[in-house]
Structure 1
Amino acid sequence: MISYVAFALLSVFFLNCQSKTEDTQTMKPTITKEAYGTLADGQSADLYTLTNADSMVVQITNYGGIITKWMAPDKNGQMADVVLGFDSLSAYVKNNPFFGALVGRYGNRIAKGSFTLDGKTYPLVTNNGPNHLHGGTVGFDKKIWKAEEIQGDSTVGLKLTYTSADMEEGYPGKLDVTVTYTLTNSGELKIDYLATTDKPTVVNLTNHCYFNLTGMKRDVLAHEVSIKADSLVAVDATLIPIGKLIPVEGTPFDFRTPKPIGARIDETSDEQIKMGGGYDHCWVINRADESMLKVATVTDPESGRTLEVSTTEPGVQFYTGNFLNGAVSGKGVTYTKRMGFCLETEHYPDSPNQPQFPSVVLRPGETYNTSTIFRMTVK
């Protein structure tokens, strides 16, 4: 028979547990702001810390909309930073290989730095071999965005706005862009992209976060990946689409069931693996419409940390840090080859020059509107 004292102690224990659960459910997420540094032209950047009810922390700066930190728990509740990045604004300005950044006007590559729209050819800078990459020399990742804090009962957010002038980096049209980050109490970071233009233009916005679910303890080759795609966009040696889709079945690109990143990443007998030096390709999502759809899942078996990616986009560029070479470091880590992976939700590379691909043309009176959700969980 349980004693009165033991019963009382058990009652207190269960009441405390119930109280903690209720506190978590009713606790409001928070957002704070601090100065982050000054650019050479005198513009100031700020750093925003978003914290949800479970103490998950995401830090974002209005310089480039960069996600600088994401603190997430492992299966034992131990928190660690799961995104590659640097310790200061100056390091992002000097070194950044697009760590955590908003990318635009056009994420990914455009062949030979030009495209034709409505019969007119627009030359762009070639900043990636013979091709144009991620919006040019001073793309959206290097701009100071106007920031507005958003406080909700169960969510917290940061709204970023920027107006790209007509012909900035060679792109036609004045483009008004709004990107909203929203952190939820269920571990989701939702990114909503909106844009309008006063002239016909092309737009393909994405986020270039590099993840490492071990907390940067080791490379990502043991991470297990699944991608909801039966085909991918075939590319040439400069990673420009050759105009056709190829099936993933029987190739190192088949992630329809979970497989470790490192299982077949070095099979250079595969022509596409050889082209990318590993994975740096756009998978074509299996979808019936443009609704939100879970398209990829990545798990670190040791920590149990799991990233789920959902999007309204038709493709996802899966990149495995093939060009990281140890030349840059941050957060006490040297970023060597395959230290991080990206899942860049997007339209296909070089779509402005590939009329058979889904269109990336935005015209006056239309609204560019896409969304992506990164959800961090534990298995």
Structure 2
Amino acid sequence: MTNFKTQTKLIWAVLLLSCFSMACQSKKSEDTMETTKTSILKEAWGQLPDGQKVSLFTLKNAKGMEVKISDYGGLITHWTAPDKDGKYEDVVLGYDSLAGYLKASPFFGALVGRYGNRIANAKFTLDGKTYNLLQNNGPNHLHGGKIGFDKVVWKTEELQDGRNGLKLNYVSKDGEEGYPGNLNVEITYVLTDDNALEINYTATTDKPTVVNLTQHSYFNLTGGKTDHLGHEVMINANHFLPVDKTLIPTGELKAVKGSVFDFTTPKTIGKGIDDTTDEQIKVGGGYDHCWVLNQPKKDSLVLAASAYEPTTGRFMEVFTTEPGVQFYTGNFLDGSITGKNGIVYKKRYGFCFETEHFPDSPNQKEFPSVVVRPGETYKTTTIYKFSSK
């Protein structure tokens, strides 16, 4: 009888010990999950002239890539990528502090909206009504106007679905910068462990409106050591959009074959950028055009472009559901801007792959539509993926 009681006590002791151990493991698991949840570093990053406080968020993955994003303008201020020796360096242009972006910035790292790129004569007609916008690029409207999405503070929250990412939300009021409808915009930046940054854009409206959102990071895969002319670029497009003297598309879809606009096989940016025998190069001062992507099915995710920098071995691929990509080669940089680490940004020191619908689409009915109506959801995805070779 005594042995039976002793055995029973021992069994209960083991069971209690086991339960305690499981509880500790569960608590440890919860703590680990909590650590993962709060892994995005948030820091104060100054304030706007009106007193609004601005924050900077750092996403970091298991390999060591870091992407810094501000709630002001959704700016990507820093973005590190590995070279062939595994060394991570910042590969985007920008400023060391908020002050630089507030003075004068050519859209370094910006979330652009409500309409990315140009709208001719700063107006468009929708459902029989004409909407007048700000002329801020010669006679045209560019990148959303005076206070576009790159110059407002977005609401932010860390993603709660296990992904390493940040969600940004902004409601653009009816009439803001001349656009119709209250537009509710949500954007997520998701950093994966294979060194890809996935950007998802969604928007809904309560009135018919036009929407064209994009990301305007300037890349230099040397880590800022020299210009970008030695980068080898591929653009998956058989056609591009010629522009007039104010950089508005003429409406023609022109074949790239046989021209300096042919990047269907990789070639250096510098190879044709100064070929002024090409009228379009003269007009753009280099490349500042939209390429019509080879997209087998509307809204399908395709490889849009890539860039390879031979001295570092850095390789970047861009995937998108958008029908076009604006390849801009920093033609308007002129050495008047001193950026991060005291680097002077000279002409062609950074290039952009702006995934988008075509410029001036609201006025060109032959182009894919940018109209969003109540009950519809604007939805696009772009992925920038880095590796080395």
> Structure 2 counterpart of 1:265, which letter?
I
Tell me what 1:317 maps to.
326
Instruction: Say whether residues 1:88 and 2:97 are aligned partners.
Output: yes
In the alignment, does 2:136 pair up with 1:143?
no
2:271 maps to 263
Find the residue that maps to 1:60 and give its secondary structure: strand
Instruction: Measure the CA separation in 1 of the matches of 2:373 and 2:274.
Output: 42
Q: Is the 8 A contact 1:28 1:52 kept in 2?
A: no
Q: Say how many residue pairs are matched.
A: 352
Q: What SS does the aligned partner of 1:235 have? A: coil
Q: Does 1:162 align with 2:170?
A: yes
Provide the residue aligned with 1:13 in structure 2.
none
Distance in 1 (CA, whole Å) between partners of 2:156 and 2:269 is: 36
Deviations 1:30-78 (A, max 9, x none): 3110001100011111000000001110000000000000111110112
Aligned match for 1:129, one of 138, 141, 149: 138
Q: Is contact 1:31-1:151 (8 Å) kept?
A: no
1:277-299 Cα offsets, whole Å, 9 max, x none, are 00000000011112111111100
CA–CA distance in 1 between the matches of 2:375 and 2:160?
A: 30
Q: Taking structure 2 as the reference length, what is the TM-score of the superposition?
A: 0.89
Task: Measure how far apart 1:104 and its partner are.
Answer: 0.2
1:328 correspondence with 2:354 = no
Look up the match of 1:97: 106
Q: Give 1:237's match in structure 2, choosing from 245, 258, 265.
A: 245
- Give the secondary structure class of the aligned counterpart of 2:246: coil
Per-residue CA deviation, residues 109-136 of structure 1 (Å, 9 max, x unaligned), is 0001000000110000000011000000
Measured after TM superposition, the shift of residue 200 of structure 1 is 0.3
SS at structure 1 position matched to 2:381: strand
Q: Distance in 1 between matches of 2:132 and 2:59?
A: 39
Amino acid at match of 1:351: S
- Shift >3 Å, 4+ stretches: 27-30
2:385 to 352, 375, 378: 375
Instruction: Give, in whole Å, the separation in 1 of the partners of 2:304 and 2:36.
Output: 30
Q: 2:359 aligns with which of 342, 349, 353?
A: 349
TM-score (norm 1): 0.91
Residues 218 and 352 in structure 2, CA contact (< 8 A), matched pair in contact too: yes
CA RMSD of aligned residues (A): 1.1
SS of 2:362 mapped into structure 1: helix
Partner of 2:22: none
For the 8 Å contact 2:64–2:88, the answer to whether it is kept is no
- What residue in structure 1 maps to residue 67 of structure 2? 58
180, 185, 191: which one aligns with 1:177: 185
TM-superposed CA distance for 1:150, in Å, is 2.0
* Alignment CA distance shift 1:77-1:152 (3 Å): farther
Structure 1 pair 152–365 and aligned structure 2 pair: CA distance change class (3 A): closer
State the partner residue of 2:236: 228
Uncovered stretches (5+) of structure 1, i.e. residues with no partner:
1-26
Report the secondary structure of 2:367's partner residue: coil
Runs of at least 5 residues in structure 2 that lack an aligned partner in the other structure: 1-34
- Residue 258 of structure 1: CA displacement? 0.3
- The answer to whether structure 1 residue 338 and structure 2 residue 348 are counterparts is yes
